[in-house]
Structure 1
Amino acid sequence: MGSIKKAFDLTGKNALVTGGSRGLGLKIAEALGEQGARVVISSRKAPDLEKAQAHLAGLGIKAEWIAADNSRDEDVKRLTDEAIKKLGRVDILVNNAGANWGAPTEDHPIEAWDKVMNLNIRSLFLLSQQIAKHSMIPNKYGRIINLASIAGLFGSSGDMQMVAYNTSKGAVVNFTRALAGSWGRYGITANALAPGFFPSRMTKGTIEAVGVEKLAAGAPLRRIGDEDDLKGAVVLFASDAGKHITGQILAVDGGLTSVLSSS
Protein backbone atom coordinates (compact mmCIF):
# COMPACT_ATOMS: atom_id res chain seq x y z
CA MET A 1 0.00 0.00 0.00
CA GLY A 2 2.91 2.29 0.66
CA SER A 3 2.85 5.13 3.16
CA ILE A 4 -0.36 5.32 5.19
CA LYS A 5 0.28 9.02 5.66
CA LYS A 6 0.33 9.46 1.90
CA ALA A 7 -2.85 7.39 1.54
CA PHE A 8 -4.78 9.96 3.58
CA ASP A 9 -3.18 12.93 1.79
CA LEU A 10 -5.55 14.94 -0.43
CA THR A 11 -2.98 17.23 -2.01
CA GLY A 12 -3.94 17.87 -5.64
CA LYS A 13 -7.58 16.87 -5.11
CA ASN A 14 -10.52 19.24 -5.56
CA ALA A 15 -13.59 19.12 -3.33
CA LEU A 16 -17.08 20.61 -3.41
CA VAL A 17 -18.94 20.65 -0.09
CA THR A 18 -22.60 21.65 -0.08
CA GLY A 19 -24.05 23.11 3.10
CA GLY A 20 -20.46 24.10 3.83
CA SER A 21 -20.98 27.48 5.44
CA ARG A 22 -21.56 26.25 9.00
CA GLY A 23 -21.97 23.26 11.30
CA LEU A 24 -20.84 19.84 10.18
CA GLY A 25 -20.42 20.97 6.58
CA LEU A 26 -17.87 23.58 7.59
CA LYS A 27 -16.01 21.03 9.71
CA ILE A 28 -15.95 18.66 6.74
CA ALA A 29 -14.49 21.45 4.59
CA GLU A 30 -11.88 22.01 7.31
CA ALA A 31 -10.90 18.34 7.29
CA LEU A 32 -10.53 18.16 3.52
CA GLY A 33 -8.61 21.43 3.43
CA GLU A 34 -6.31 20.39 6.26
CA GLN A 35 -5.40 17.29 4.24
CA GLY A 36 -4.45 19.41 1.25
CA ALA A 37 -7.56 19.50 -0.94
CA ARG A 38 -8.68 22.62 -2.75
CA VAL A 39 -12.15 23.36 -1.46
CA VAL A 40 -15.26 25.08 -2.75
CA ILE A 41 -18.08 25.47 -0.24
CA SER A 42 -21.68 26.14 -1.15
CA SER A 43 -24.86 27.18 0.65
CA ARG A 44 -27.76 29.54 0.03
CA LYS A 45 -26.48 32.74 1.67
CA ALA A 46 -23.43 34.66 0.53
CA PRO A 47 -22.78 36.37 3.91
CA ASP A 48 -22.60 32.98 5.63
CA LEU A 49 -20.19 31.74 2.98
CA GLU A 50 -17.99 34.81 3.31
CA LYS A 51 -17.79 34.24 7.06
CA ALA A 52 -16.95 30.57 6.54
CA GLN A 53 -14.29 31.46 3.98
CA ALA A 54 -12.67 33.82 6.48
CA HIS A 55 -12.78 31.11 9.15
CA LEU A 56 -11.06 28.63 6.84
CA ALA A 57 -8.49 31.23 5.83
CA GLY A 58 -7.67 31.68 9.50
CA LEU A 59 -6.75 27.99 9.56
CA GLY A 60 -4.53 28.38 6.53
CA ILE A 61 -7.10 26.84 4.18
CA LYS A 62 -7.79 28.66 0.94
CA ALA A 63 -11.41 28.09 -0.01
CA GLU A 64 -13.75 29.57 -2.58
CA TRP A 65 -17.53 29.70 -2.38
CA ILE A 66 -20.62 29.60 -4.56
CA ALA A 67 -24.04 30.69 -3.33
CA ALA A 68 -26.72 28.29 -4.58
CA ASP A 69 -30.09 26.97 -3.46
CA ASN A 70 -29.89 23.24 -4.16
CA SER A 71 -33.66 22.87 -4.03
CA ARG A 72 -33.73 24.71 -7.37
CA ASP A 73 -32.74 22.71 -10.45
CA GLU A 74 -31.24 25.72 -12.18
CA ASP A 75 -29.03 26.44 -9.16
CA VAL A 76 -27.75 22.87 -9.13
CA LYS A 77 -26.72 23.16 -12.76
CA ARG A 78 -25.11 26.56 -12.15
CA LEU A 79 -23.28 25.21 -9.10
CA THR A 80 -21.89 22.38 -11.20
CA ASP A 81 -20.69 24.72 -13.93
CA GLU A 82 -19.13 27.24 -11.54
CA ALA A 83 -17.45 24.60 -9.38
CA ILE A 84 -15.84 22.95 -12.39
CA LYS A 85 -14.80 26.36 -13.70
CA LYS A 86 -13.18 27.29 -10.38
CA LEU A 87 -11.53 23.93 -9.74
CA GLY A 88 -10.98 22.53 -13.23
CA ARG A 89 -12.53 19.26 -12.08
CA VAL A 90 -14.34 17.96 -9.00
CA ASP A 91 -12.70 14.91 -7.44
CA ILE A 92 -14.66 14.87 -4.17
CA LEU A 93 -18.33 15.74 -3.79
CA VAL A 94 -19.78 16.00 -0.30
CA ASN A 95 -23.58 16.21 -0.39
CA ASN A 96 -24.23 17.76 3.01
CA ALA A 97 -26.98 20.34 2.44
CA GLY A 98 -30.27 19.28 4.01
CA ALA A 99 -33.43 20.32 5.79
CA ASN A 100 -35.66 19.01 8.57
CA TRP A 101 -39.29 19.44 9.59
CA GLY A 102 -40.91 18.11 12.71
CA ALA A 103 -44.66 17.53 12.83
CA PRO A 104 -47.10 14.75 13.73
CA THR A 105 -47.28 12.41 10.76
CA GLU A 106 -51.04 12.79 10.44
CA ASP A 107 -50.69 16.58 10.25
CA HIS A 108 -47.42 16.89 8.33
CA PRO A 109 -47.87 19.60 5.66
CA ILE A 110 -47.38 18.35 2.12
CA GLU A 111 -45.46 21.54 1.31
CA ALA A 112 -43.00 20.71 4.08
CA TRP A 113 -42.74 17.11 2.84
CA ASP A 114 -41.85 18.37 -0.64
CA LYS A 115 -39.30 20.85 0.74
CA VAL A 116 -37.50 18.18 2.76
CA MET A 117 -37.59 15.56 0.00
CA ASN A 118 -36.48 18.02 -2.69
CA LEU A 119 -33.42 19.19 -0.76
CA ASN A 120 -32.48 15.99 1.05
CA ILE A 121 -32.66 13.52 -1.83
CA ARG A 122 -33.76 15.02 -5.16
CA SER A 123 -31.00 17.62 -5.12
CA LEU A 124 -28.43 14.95 -4.21
CA PHE A 125 -29.40 12.98 -7.28
CA LEU A 126 -29.27 16.03 -9.56
CA LEU A 127 -25.95 17.34 -8.27
CA SER A 128 -24.30 13.92 -8.22
CA GLN A 129 -25.55 13.28 -11.75
CA GLN A 130 -24.24 16.62 -13.02
CA ILE A 131 -20.85 16.37 -11.31
CA ALA A 132 -20.38 12.76 -12.43
CA LYS A 133 -21.41 13.44 -16.02
CA HIS A 134 -19.30 16.57 -16.46
CA SER A 135 -16.26 15.75 -14.33
CA MET A 136 -15.92 12.39 -12.58
CA ILE A 137 -16.93 10.02 -15.38
CA PRO A 138 -14.74 11.71 -18.01
CA ASN A 139 -11.83 11.71 -15.54
CA LYS A 140 -12.48 8.11 -14.43
CA TYR A 141 -12.19 9.16 -10.79
CA GLY A 142 -14.48 10.38 -8.06
CA ARG A 143 -15.37 10.26 -4.40
CA ILE A 144 -19.01 10.95 -3.51
CA ILE A 145 -19.85 11.26 0.17
CA ASN A 146 -23.49 11.67 1.14
CA LEU A 147 -24.72 12.79 4.54
CA ALA A 148 -27.40 10.39 5.64
CA SER A 149 -28.42 10.00 9.28
CA ILE A 150 -29.19 7.26 11.77
CA ALA A 151 -32.73 8.63 11.34
CA GLY A 152 -32.66 6.93 7.95
CA LEU A 153 -31.97 3.55 9.52
CA PHE A 154 -34.92 3.45 11.90
CA GLY A 155 -38.38 4.91 12.37
CA SER A 156 -39.03 7.83 14.70
CA SER A 157 -40.64 7.68 18.10
CA GLY A 158 -43.66 9.64 19.22
CA ASP A 159 -41.61 12.44 20.76
CA MET A 160 -39.53 12.97 17.59
CA GLN A 161 -41.91 12.89 14.66
CA MET A 162 -39.94 13.59 11.51
CA VAL A 163 -41.56 11.41 8.87
CA ALA A 164 -40.25 13.37 5.88
CA TYR A 165 -36.73 13.65 7.29
CA ASN A 166 -36.54 9.96 8.19
CA THR A 167 -37.90 8.98 4.79
CA SER A 168 -35.47 11.23 2.93
CA LYS A 169 -32.45 9.94 4.85
CA GLY A 170 -33.55 6.36 4.26
CA ALA A 171 -33.60 7.24 0.57
CA VAL A 172 -30.06 8.66 0.85
CA VAL A 173 -28.89 5.30 2.21
CA ASN A 174 -30.13 3.32 -0.78
CA PHE A 175 -29.28 6.11 -3.22
CA THR A 176 -25.67 5.80 -2.06
CA ARG A 177 -25.70 2.06 -2.71
CA ALA A 178 -27.25 2.60 -6.13
CA LEU A 179 -24.56 5.13 -7.08
CA ALA A 180 -21.85 2.71 -5.99
CA GLY A 181 -23.29 0.03 -8.25
CA SER A 182 -23.83 2.38 -11.18
CA TRP A 183 -20.54 4.21 -11.25
CA GLY A 184 -17.94 1.87 -9.80
CA ARG A 185 -16.80 1.01 -13.31
CA TYR A 186 -15.77 4.66 -13.75
CA GLY A 187 -13.51 4.65 -10.69
CA ILE A 188 -16.11 6.48 -8.59
CA THR A 189 -16.81 5.45 -5.01
CA ALA A 190 -20.00 6.44 -3.21
CA ASN A 191 -20.39 6.18 0.55
CA ALA A 192 -22.52 7.79 3.22
CA LEU A 193 -22.00 9.02 6.74
CA ALA A 194 -24.90 8.50 9.10
CA PRO A 195 -24.38 10.83 12.05
CA GLY A 196 -26.20 10.34 15.31
CA PHE A 197 -26.99 13.35 17.45
CA PHE A 198 -24.65 16.27 16.87
CA PRO A 199 -25.17 19.86 18.04
CA SER A 200 -26.27 21.87 15.03
CA ARG A 201 -28.83 24.39 13.95
CA MET A 202 -30.97 21.56 12.57
CA THR A 203 -30.88 19.46 15.75
CA LYS A 204 -31.13 22.34 18.20
CA GLY A 205 -34.86 21.88 18.73
CA THR A 206 -34.58 18.13 19.31
CA ILE A 207 -31.68 18.50 21.72
CA GLU A 208 -33.54 21.19 23.68
CA ALA A 209 -36.72 19.11 23.77
CA VAL A 210 -35.16 15.79 24.73
CA GLY A 211 -31.98 16.95 26.49
CA VAL A 212 -28.32 16.12 25.93
CA GLU A 213 -28.14 13.73 28.89
CA LYS A 214 -31.10 11.66 27.68
CA LEU A 215 -29.80 11.53 24.12
CA ALA A 216 -26.32 10.56 25.30
CA ALA A 217 -27.58 7.96 27.78
CA GLY A 218 -28.73 5.62 25.02
CA ALA A 219 -25.29 5.41 23.38
CA PRO A 220 -22.59 3.07 24.68
CA LEU A 221 -20.09 5.95 24.71
CA ARG A 222 -22.54 8.05 26.78
CA ARG A 223 -22.02 11.14 24.65
CA ILE A 224 -23.39 12.88 21.61
CA GLY A 225 -21.12 13.87 18.75
CA ASP A 226 -18.95 16.95 18.72
CA GLU A 227 -18.05 19.09 15.75
CA ASP A 228 -14.85 17.17 14.97
CA ASP A 229 -16.25 13.63 15.07
CA LEU A 230 -16.95 13.34 11.32
CA LYS A 231 -13.54 14.56 10.19
CA GLY A 232 -11.67 11.26 10.22
CA ALA A 233 -14.46 9.35 8.51
CA VAL A 234 -14.87 11.89 5.71
CA VAL A 235 -11.12 11.88 5.01
CA LEU A 236 -11.16 8.07 4.86
CA PHE A 237 -13.94 8.08 2.27
CA ALA A 238 -12.36 10.96 0.31
CA SER A 239 -8.81 9.62 0.15
CA ASP A 240 -6.91 6.71 -1.34
CA ALA A 241 -7.07 5.08 2.09
CA GLY A 242 -10.68 4.29 1.23
CA LYS A 243 -10.22 3.43 -2.43
CA HIS A 244 -11.68 -0.08 -2.00
CA ILE A 245 -14.69 1.08 0.04
CA THR A 246 -17.92 1.87 -1.78
CA GLY A 247 -21.63 1.55 -1.19
CA GLN A 248 -21.15 1.67 2.58
CA ILE A 249 -23.06 3.52 5.29
CA LEU A 250 -20.98 4.43 8.33
CA ALA A 251 -22.88 5.38 11.48
CA VAL A 252 -20.98 7.92 13.56
CA ASP A 253 -23.19 7.80 16.62
CA GLY A 254 -21.33 6.76 19.73
CA GLY A 255 -22.50 3.20 19.18
CA LEU A 256 -26.21 4.01 19.40
CA THR A 257 -27.22 1.90 16.38
CA SER A 258 -25.31 -1.11 17.69
CA VAL A 259 -27.59 -1.09 20.73
CA LEU A 260 -30.78 -0.36 18.78
CA SER A 261 -30.09 -3.09 16.22
CA SER A 262 -29.57 -5.69 18.94
CA SER A 263 -32.64 -4.82 20.98
Structure 2
Amino acid sequence: MNLFDLSGKTALVTGSSGGLGHAMARGLAEAGARIVLHGRDAEKLEKAQQSLRDAGHEVAVASFDVTDESGIAEALDALEDNGLSIDILVNNAGMQLRKPMVDLERDEWQKVIDTNLSSAFLVGRQVARRLIERGQGGKVINIGSLMSSVARPTVAPYTAAKGGIRLLTQSMAAEWAEHGIQANAIGPGYMITEMTQPLVDDKAFNDWIIGRTPSRRWGTPDDLVGTAVYLASPASSYVNGQIIYVDGGMLAVL
Protein backbone atom coordinates (compact mmCIF):
# COMPACT_ATOMS: atom_id res chain seq x y z
CA MET A 1 0.00 0.00 0.00
CA ASN A 2 1.33 3.41 -0.99
CA LEU A 3 0.37 5.77 1.83
CA PHE A 4 1.29 8.78 -0.32
CA ASP A 5 -0.76 7.85 -3.39
CA LEU A 6 -3.27 10.56 -4.36
CA SER A 7 -4.71 8.76 -7.38
CA GLY A 8 -8.40 9.47 -7.82
CA LYS A 9 -8.28 12.64 -5.70
CA THR A 10 -8.85 16.20 -6.88
CA ALA A 11 -6.85 19.01 -5.31
CA LEU A 12 -7.54 22.74 -5.46
CA VAL A 13 -4.52 24.92 -4.69
CA THR A 14 -5.29 28.62 -4.39
CA GLY A 15 -2.68 31.05 -5.62
CA SER A 16 -1.03 28.36 -7.73
CA SER A 17 -0.17 30.08 -11.00
CA GLY A 18 3.38 30.46 -9.70
CA GLY A 19 5.66 30.32 -6.67
CA LEU A 20 4.98 28.09 -3.70
CA GLY A 21 1.46 27.25 -4.83
CA HIS A 22 2.55 26.00 -8.23
CA ALA A 23 5.31 23.86 -6.74
CA MET A 24 2.86 22.22 -4.33
CA ALA A 25 0.31 21.71 -7.12
CA ARG A 26 2.97 20.03 -9.25
CA GLY A 27 3.96 17.80 -6.32
CA LEU A 28 0.36 16.75 -5.70
CA ALA A 29 -0.03 16.02 -9.40
CA GLU A 30 3.09 13.86 -9.39
CA ALA A 31 1.55 11.92 -6.48
CA GLY A 32 -1.45 11.17 -8.69
CA ALA A 33 -3.99 13.92 -7.96
CA ARG A 34 -6.05 15.82 -10.50
CA ILE A 35 -5.23 19.49 -10.02
CA VAL A 36 -7.30 22.65 -10.10
CA LEU A 37 -4.98 25.63 -10.43
CA HIS A 38 -6.21 28.98 -9.20
CA GLY A 39 -5.14 32.55 -9.92
CA ARG A 40 -6.38 35.98 -11.01
CA ASP A 41 -3.90 36.57 -13.87
CA ALA A 42 -5.40 34.68 -16.82
CA GLU A 43 -2.21 34.62 -18.91
CA LYS A 44 -0.06 33.40 -16.04
CA LEU A 45 -2.67 30.81 -15.07
CA GLU A 46 -2.83 29.46 -18.63
CA LYS A 47 0.96 29.07 -18.74
CA ALA A 48 0.93 27.26 -15.40
CA GLN A 49 -1.79 24.93 -16.64
CA GLN A 50 0.10 24.16 -19.83
CA SER A 51 3.31 23.39 -17.95
CA LEU A 52 1.52 20.71 -15.91
CA ARG A 53 -0.29 19.34 -18.96
CA ASP A 54 3.02 19.10 -20.81
CA ALA A 55 4.24 16.94 -17.93
CA GLY A 56 1.28 14.60 -18.46
CA HIS A 57 -0.92 15.71 -15.58
CA GLU A 58 -4.68 16.22 -15.51
CA VAL A 59 -5.28 19.87 -14.66
CA ALA A 60 -8.13 22.38 -14.72
CA VAL A 61 -8.19 26.05 -13.76
CA ALA A 62 -10.43 28.29 -11.67
CA SER A 63 -10.29 32.05 -11.31
CA PHE A 64 -12.15 33.64 -8.42
CA ASP A 65 -11.67 36.17 -5.66
CA VAL A 66 -10.73 34.25 -2.50
CA THR A 67 -12.34 36.96 -0.38
CA ASP A 68 -15.74 36.77 -2.14
CA GLU A 69 -17.74 33.86 -0.74
CA SER A 70 -20.45 33.93 -3.39
CA GLY A 71 -17.78 33.85 -6.09
CA ILE A 72 -16.07 30.95 -4.32
CA ALA A 73 -19.33 29.00 -4.16
CA GLU A 74 -20.06 29.64 -7.83
CA ALA A 75 -16.59 28.46 -8.83
CA LEU A 76 -16.88 25.26 -6.78
CA ASP A 77 -20.34 24.59 -8.21
CA ALA A 78 -18.97 25.03 -11.74
CA LEU A 79 -16.13 22.61 -11.02
CA GLU A 80 -18.59 20.05 -9.67
CA ASP A 81 -20.75 20.46 -12.78
CA ASN A 82 -17.65 19.40 -14.71
CA GLY A 83 -17.04 16.36 -12.52
CA LEU A 84 -14.41 17.94 -10.28
CA SER A 85 -15.40 17.60 -6.62
CA ILE A 86 -12.59 18.83 -4.37
CA ASP A 87 -11.03 16.26 -2.02
CA ILE A 88 -7.94 18.27 -1.09
CA LEU A 89 -7.77 22.02 -0.53
CA VAL A 90 -4.53 23.95 -0.16
CA ASN A 91 -5.24 27.51 1.05
CA ASN A 92 -2.12 29.16 -0.32
CA ALA A 93 -3.32 32.51 -1.74
CA GLY A 94 -1.78 35.45 0.08
CA MET A 95 -0.02 38.79 -0.07
CA GLN A 96 2.56 40.81 1.84
CA LEU A 97 2.75 44.48 2.80
CA ARG A 98 5.78 45.95 4.57
CA LYS A 99 5.03 49.13 6.49
CA PRO A 100 5.48 50.32 10.09
CA MET A 101 2.30 49.90 12.14
CA VAL A 102 2.14 53.58 13.02
CA ASP A 103 1.94 54.40 9.29
CA LEU A 104 -0.43 51.60 8.33
CA GLU A 105 -3.81 52.59 6.92
CA ARG A 106 -6.91 50.75 8.11
CA ASP A 107 -7.75 49.54 4.59
CA GLU A 108 -4.19 48.24 4.13
CA TRP A 109 -4.49 46.25 7.35
CA GLN A 110 -7.87 44.85 6.29
CA LYS A 111 -6.71 43.86 2.81
CA VAL A 112 -3.85 41.76 4.21
CA ILE A 113 -6.10 40.14 6.83
CA ASP A 114 -8.78 39.37 4.25
CA THR A 115 -6.35 37.94 1.70
CA ASN A 116 -4.25 35.85 4.08
CA LEU A 117 -6.72 34.79 6.79
CA SER A 118 -10.36 35.40 5.90
CA SER A 119 -9.84 33.70 2.53
CA ALA A 120 -8.76 30.46 4.22
CA PHE A 121 -11.94 30.56 6.31
CA LEU A 122 -14.18 31.34 3.34
CA VAL A 123 -12.73 28.85 0.86
CA GLY A 124 -12.23 26.26 3.60
CA ARG A 125 -15.83 26.54 4.75
CA GLN A 126 -17.22 26.18 1.24
CA VAL A 127 -15.09 23.10 0.55
CA ALA A 128 -15.85 21.58 3.97
CA ARG A 129 -19.61 21.91 3.45
CA ARG A 130 -19.30 19.85 0.29
CA LEU A 131 -16.97 17.30 1.88
CA ILE A 132 -19.36 16.81 4.80
CA GLU A 133 -22.31 16.39 2.46
CA ARG A 134 -20.43 13.75 0.44
CA GLY A 135 -19.37 11.95 3.62
CA GLN A 136 -16.04 10.70 2.29
CA GLY A 137 -13.65 12.85 4.31
CA GLY A 138 -11.02 15.14 2.88
CA LYS A 139 -7.98 17.30 3.49
CA VAL A 140 -7.56 21.00 4.20
CA ILE A 141 -4.01 22.37 4.20
CA ASN A 142 -3.58 26.00 5.23
CA ILE A 143 -0.36 27.83 4.50
CA GLY A 144 0.97 29.65 7.52
CA SER A 145 4.43 31.09 8.04
CA LEU A 146 7.19 31.52 10.58
CA MET A 147 4.98 34.47 11.51
CA SER A 148 2.40 32.00 12.77
CA SER A 149 4.59 31.86 15.90
CA VAL A 150 6.96 34.85 15.87
CA ALA A 151 6.98 38.46 14.69
CA ARG A 152 9.27 40.84 12.83
CA PRO A 153 8.99 44.61 12.33
CA THR A 154 6.92 46.14 9.52
CA VAL A 155 4.72 43.09 8.79
CA ALA A 156 2.09 43.38 11.54
CA PRO A 157 -1.04 42.52 9.49
CA TYR A 158 0.71 39.57 7.85
CA THR A 159 1.87 38.33 11.26
CA ALA A 160 -1.63 38.68 12.72
CA ALA A 161 -3.10 36.82 9.74
CA LYS A 162 -0.59 33.99 9.85
CA GLY A 163 -0.96 33.66 13.60
CA GLY A 164 -4.67 33.41 12.96
CA ILE A 165 -4.06 30.65 10.40
CA ARG A 166 -2.56 28.46 13.12
CA LEU A 167 -5.62 28.75 15.37
CA LEU A 168 -8.07 28.66 12.47
CA THR A 169 -6.50 25.34 11.51
CA GLN A 170 -7.05 24.03 15.03
CA SER A 171 -10.66 25.24 14.93
CA MET A 172 -11.23 23.46 11.63
CA ALA A 173 -9.87 20.26 13.14
CA ALA A 174 -12.04 20.66 16.24
CA GLU A 175 -15.21 20.93 14.17
CA TRP A 176 -14.53 18.82 11.09
CA ALA A 177 -12.46 15.86 12.34
CA GLU A 178 -15.57 13.85 13.15
CA HIS A 179 -16.44 14.04 9.45
CA GLY A 180 -13.13 12.48 8.42
CA ILE A 181 -11.59 15.81 7.43
CA GLN A 182 -8.01 16.51 8.45
CA ALA A 183 -7.08 20.19 8.68
CA ASN A 184 -3.40 20.99 9.08
CA ALA A 185 -1.02 23.79 8.17
CA ILE A 186 2.44 24.28 6.75
CA GLY A 187 4.65 27.08 8.05
CA PRO A 188 7.25 27.88 5.39
CA GLY A 189 10.46 29.58 6.43
CA TYR A 190 12.18 32.10 4.20
CA MET A 191 11.62 30.82 0.67
CA ILE A 192 13.01 32.16 -2.58
CA THR A 193 10.01 33.34 -4.60
CA GLU A 194 9.13 36.30 -6.78
CA MET A 195 7.72 38.02 -3.68
CA THR A 196 10.91 37.56 -1.62
CA GLN A 197 13.47 38.18 -4.38
CA PRO A 198 14.11 41.77 -3.21
CA LEU A 199 15.09 40.35 0.20
CA VAL A 200 17.39 37.80 -1.43
CA ASP A 201 19.02 40.64 -3.36
CA ASP A 202 19.52 42.67 -0.17
CA LYS A 203 23.01 41.58 0.93
CA ALA A 204 22.55 42.49 4.58
CA PHE A 205 19.24 40.64 4.84
CA ASN A 206 20.51 37.68 2.82
CA ASP A 207 23.54 37.39 5.11
CA TRP A 208 21.20 37.47 8.13
CA ILE A 209 19.08 34.64 6.73
CA ILE A 210 22.10 32.48 5.94
CA GLY A 211 23.58 33.12 9.38
CA ARG A 212 20.27 32.69 11.26
CA THR A 213 19.16 29.47 9.58
CA PRO A 214 20.85 26.25 10.75
CA SER A 215 20.59 24.85 7.21
CA ARG A 216 22.58 27.90 6.02
CA ARG A 217 20.38 28.54 3.01
CA TRP A 218 17.06 29.90 1.86
CA GLY A 219 14.28 27.42 1.21
CA THR A 220 12.93 26.78 -2.27
CA PRO A 221 9.34 26.06 -3.34
CA ASP A 222 10.28 22.41 -3.89
CA ASP A 223 11.12 22.12 -0.17
CA LEU A 224 7.38 22.30 0.58
CA VAL A 225 6.32 19.51 -1.76
CA GLY A 226 7.00 16.54 0.52
CA THR A 227 5.09 18.06 3.43
CA ALA A 228 2.17 19.01 1.19
CA VAL A 229 1.92 15.50 -0.24
CA TYR A 230 2.14 13.99 3.25
CA LEU A 231 -0.66 16.17 4.62
CA ALA A 232 -2.80 15.52 1.53
CA SER A 233 -2.34 11.75 1.69
CA PRO A 234 -3.60 8.80 3.75
CA ALA A 235 -0.23 8.86 5.54
CA SER A 236 -1.55 11.72 7.71
CA SER A 237 -5.01 10.30 8.39
CA TYR A 238 -4.66 10.72 12.20
CA VAL A 239 -2.80 14.04 12.08
CA ASN A 240 -5.15 16.94 12.72
CA GLY A 241 -4.90 20.56 13.81
CA GLN A 242 -1.11 20.70 13.47
CA ILE A 243 1.30 23.13 11.85
CA ILE A 244 4.54 21.77 10.41
CA TYR A 245 7.30 24.32 10.00
CA VAL A 246 9.49 23.87 6.94
CA ASP A 247 12.12 26.44 7.85
CA GLY A 248 15.57 24.87 7.80
CA GLY A 249 15.54 24.84 11.61
CA MET A 250 15.16 28.60 12.10
CA LEU A 251 12.54 28.38 14.84
CA ALA A 252 14.55 25.72 16.66
CA VAL A 253 17.42 28.04 17.62
CA LEU A 254 17.96 31.43 19.23
| TM-score with structure 2 setting the length | 0.95
Q: What are the superposed Cα offsets for residues 89-116 of structure 1, whole Å, 9 maximum, x if unpaired?
A: 2110000000110001110121111111
Asked if 1:189 corresponds to 2:216, the answer is: no
Matches within 5 A, 1:111-150: 111-150=107-146
Tell me what 1:69 maps to. Answer: 65
Structure 2 CA distance for aligned equivalents of residues 252 and 132 of structure 1: 26
Structure 2 CA distance for aligned equivalents of residues 230 and 52 of structure 1: 18
1:49 to 36, 45, 51: 45
CA contact (8 A) 1:191 1:249 kept: yes
Partner amino acid, structure 2, of 1:226? T
Structure 2 CA distance for aligned equivalents of residues 104 and 78 of structure 1: 37
* Residues matched between the structures, number: 253
Shift of 1:137: 4.4
Structure 2 CA distance for aligned equivalents of residues 221 and 73 of structure 1: 40
CA contact (8 A) 1:91 1:136 kept: no
Seen in structure 2, the aligned counterparts of structure 1 residues 78 and 202 have a Cα distance that, compared at 3 Å, is farther
1:216 to 193, 210, 215: 210
Structure 2 CA distance for aligned equivalents of residues 228 and 132 of structure 1: 27
Partner amino acid, structure 1, of 2:219? G
1:174 to 156, 167, 177: 167
Asked if 1:27 corresponds to 2:20, the answer is: no
Asked if 1:226 corresponds to 2:226, the answer is: no
Tell me what 2:237 maps to. Answer: 243
Structure 2 CA distance for aligned equivalents of residues 193 and 133 of structure 1: 22
Shift of 1:201: 2.3
Shift of 1:136: 4.2
Q: What are the superposed Cα offsets for residues 27-74 of structure 1, whole Å, 9 maximum, x if unpaired?
A: 011011001101101111211110000111122112110111212233
Shift of 1:121: 0.9
Structure 2 CA distance for aligned equivalents of residues 42 and 19 of structure 1: 5
Matches within 5 A, 1:67-106: 67-106=63-102
Structure 2 CA distance for aligned equivalents of residues 15 and 39 of structure 1: 5
Partner amino acid, structure 1, of 2:100? P
Q: What are the superposed Cα offsets for residues 207-261 of structure 1, whole Å, 9 maximum, x if unpaired?
A: 33453332121011111101210000000000001111111100000000001xx
User: Identity, % of aligned pairs?
Assistant: 36
Partner amino acid, structure 1, of 2:34? R
CA contact (8 A) 1:20 1:41 kept: yes
Asked if 1:153 corresponds to 2:149, the answer is: yes
Structure 1 CA distance for aligned equivalents of residues 152 and 93 of structure 2: 21
Seen in structure 2, the aligned counterparts of structure 1 residues 75 and 201 have a Cα distance that, compared at 3 Å, is farther
Asked if 1:254 corresponds to 2:233, the answer is: no
Seen in structure 2, the aligned counterparts of structure 1 residues 87 and 258 have a Cα distance that, compared at 3 Å, is farther
CA contact (8 A) 1:39 1:64 kept: yes
Tell me what 1:198 maps to. Answer: 191
Unaligned runs of 5+ in 2: none
Partner amino acid, structure 2, of 1:213? D
Unaligned runs of 5+ in 1: none
Q: Pairwise CA RMSD of aligned residues?
A: 1.4
Structure 1 CA distance for aligned equivalents of residues 190 and 236 of structure 2: 25
